[in-house]
Structure 1
Amino acid sequence: MESKQQLMHSLRTAYSITLPLLEDLQDAPMTPPTAHGGNHPTWLAGHLAHSVGLLVWEIMQGKPNPLADWNELFQGGSQPQSDGAVYPAYEEILSQFKSLHEEAFALLETLTEEQLDQPSKNPPPNFEEVFGTWRQCFGAMALHLTNHRGQAAVCRTALGREPLLV
C-alpha cells in the first residue's frame, strides 16, 4: 500500500467515526462535556470544519480559508462560548464540516506520492515539522479529527447516552 492510500484510509476512518457522534448531538449542540465546561459540540464541529479550511486552503495552498469568517469563533486557541446565539446554526456547521471534508478527500484522491511531498505554501512559523508538506497536513487532519472525536464522545456521556460504536 502506498502512503497516499494509507493517508486516505486514516482520514476517511477518522471522519467516519467522528461524524456520527457530531450528528447524534444535533439535539443538544451546547452540551458541555463536564460540569466545569469544555468544548461543546457546536464548538467542536465548527473548529473541525474551520481547521480543514485552515489546513487545506490556507496552509497547504496559500489561499484564504473558506471559513475565515469563523476565525474568532473556531480557530485554534478560541474558547467555547456558552451563548449559542453567537454561533451559526448547528446544521450549517455540520454542512460545512461535511462539505470541506469531501473537498479535502477529492483533492487527496488527485495527488501523486510526489505531489504529497510538495512544501506547504504557508505553514505556521515554528510548525514546519508538523505542517511543512501536504502529506504532513493530511496526516495532521486525521489526528485532529480523532482527538476531538473523543471530546464529542464525552459530551454524549454527559447526556447519559450509550456509546456509539462505529
Structure 2
Amino acid sequence: MFSSQSIVYAWDNGLRYALALLDDLTDEQMVLRPGGNMNHPAWILGHMALYYPIVPALLRGETFADPADDDLFGFRGHGPLPDHTIYGSKESQLQRLREGHEKVAQALLAATDVQLNRPPSLPRWAKMYPTVEFMLPDLLLLHENIHIGQLSIWRRAAGFSGVDFPDRTPRAGLIASL
C-alpha cells in the first residue's frame, strides 16, 4: 500500500504546479472564459477548496454537506460566474489554496489505520469506495490534478504561455532518508 508520505509528496507537487500556473494572473484574468464555456481559475480554485475541510472530516468519521450541492462551486451549482469580486482577490484564493493544502497534508500525515479503514461518511462516496484510504488518492490526486490540468489548458486557451514545472524537493522531514 502507498504511504501517506508518498501521497503528500504528490499533493505538494500539485500545489506547486497550480501556484506556478496562476502566478502571473491578475484578479480580473482569474475569471476569463476563453470560448465562453471553460471553467475559469477562480471557479476551479473554489471548487478544489470545497474538499479541503472534507478530508479531515472524513478521517474523523464526521458528516458534512455534499460538496456537489455547493451553489457557487459544486458541480450541481450554477458554474463559473464572470464577476471576479464574487470569488475574492486572487491572493485570497491562493491563500485558501495554500492553507487548505497544508491542513489536508497534516491530517493525512497524522491519520491512523482506524481512520483510514473506516467507510467514507458521505453516503454517495460510501457506495463507491470501501474505505477512506481507498478513496483519498482518487480525491486528492485524480480529482485535484484533473482541475490543475484544466488550469494549464485554460492558460493556453487564454493566450498565456506555459510554465515550467516547479522544484520537486520533498518537504522537510517527509522522507526519512533525505
**Coarse TM-score class (shorter-chain normalised):** 0.7 to 0.9
Corresponding position of 1:93 = 93
Conserved 8 A contact 1:8-1:108:
yes
Q: What are structure 2's unaligned runs of at least 5 residues?
A: 166-178
Q: How many residues align?
A: 159
Letter in 2 for 1:93: Q
User: Which residue number corresponds to residue 41 of structure 1?
Assistant: 41
Note the residue ranges of structure 1 that are not aligned, 5 or more in a row.
none
Output the aligned Cα RMSD: 2.7
* Aligned positions of 1:1-16 closer than 5 A: 2-16=2-16
Alignment correspondent of 1:158 = 157
Correspondence for 2:126 among 128, 141, 145: 128
The structural deviation recorded for 1:131 is 4.7
TM-score, scaled to structure 1: 0.79
Higher relative helix content: 1
Q: Is the 8 A contact 1:52 1:141 kept in 2?
A: no
TM-score (norm 2): 0.74
Counterpart position of 1:109: 109
The separation in 2 between residues aligned to 1:155 and 1:43, in whole angstroms, is: 12
Would the alpha carbon gap of residues 136 and 93 (structure 1) be closer, same or farther in structure 2, given more than 3 Å must change?
farther
CA shift for structure 1 position 60:
4.3
Superposed CA offset, 1:11-66 (max 9, x none): 2222222232133334511121x313220011011111112223433x4432557x
Are 2:116 and 2:131, in contact at CA under 8 Å, matched by a contact in 1?
yes
**Structure 1 position 74, deviation (Å):** 1.1
**CA-to-aligned-CA distance 1:127-148 (integer Å, 9 cap, x gap):** 3254553213421222111101
CA distance in 2 between partners of 1:44 and 1:22 (Å): 11
Tell me: CA distance 1:91–1:10, structure 2 relative to 1, closer, same or farther (3 Å).
same
Q: C-alpha separation between the residues in 1 aligned to 2:4 and 2:75? A: 27
In structure 2, the residue matched to 1:73 is 72
Identity of paired residues, percent?
25
Q: Return the offset for 1:80.
A: 0.6
Tell me, yes or no, if structure 1 residue 145 matches structure 2 residue 144.
Answer: yes
Contact kept? 1:26, 1:91, Cα under 8 Å: no
**Structure with greater Cα Rg:** 2
Q: Cα distance 1:16–1:135, how it changes in 2: closer, same or farther (>3 A)?
A: farther
Q: Which amino acid aligns with 1:31?
A: L
Amino acid at match of 1:135: E
Is the Cα contact below 8 Å between 2:117 and 2:131 reproduced in 1? yes
